[in-house]
Amino acid sequence: MRGDERVQGMMLATVVLEDRVPADHPLRAIRRLVDPILGELSPQFEAMYSQAGRPSIPPEQLLRALLLQLLFSIRSERQLVDQLEYNLLYRWFVRLDLEASAWHATTFTKSSAAPARRVGEPEERPPEGRRLGSRGRFWECRRELSRREAEQRDASPGDGPGCAHGAQVVKLGVGPRV
């Protein structure tokens, strides 16, 4: 006998995101590396923000989200925010509460500029006992992703083998005149 598809609108559930992420998932190791670094940067973030006004998106969450964008090759902040709305793994990594809405893409883009610039600045001396590579490498990767995204966006939609629905592009007046 075929079962009925029952859709339950609203329900009370206790979900712990920590339990939903597999113990051996690679993002767990990355988060163990990232969290202490962001903890060290917390006083700098505190100095960057005003004590008056509306609370902003926490800079630690912004930077974790940008790291996700790089790790998973998410092409734009808009797509990243869409993923944060429903992807439990991403919510766990960013430490976004399960019941909280993801940020608006324009707010995310505008808010991520200040802490990202500040974190990209070189330190007076590197932290003792830590070799995480060049601080500029993060921004090199981000620039490269932006450049590739721009190339894809500027490419003609019908160029190459990936034409949608088998469409063919006809270019008029391109050949030599006879």
User: Per-residue pLDDT for the chain (178 aa), expressed as one digit of tens each?
Assistant: 666 777 766 666 677 889 999 999 999 999 999 999 999 988 888 888 788 888 888 889 999 999 999 999 998 889 999 999 999 999 999 999 888 888 888 887 777 766 655 555 544 444 555 544 555 565 666 667 677 777 777 765 555 444 444 444 444 444 455 4
pTM of the model: 0.61
- Please give the Cα distance from 56 to 13 (Å, whole number): 28
Is the C-alpha dihedral spanning 20, 25, 26, 32 positive or negative? positive
Residues 6+ apart with CB under 8 A from 25: 89
The interaxial angle of helices 135-154 and 105-120, nearest 10 deg, is: 140
Contact of 30 with 71, CB cutoff 8 Å = yes
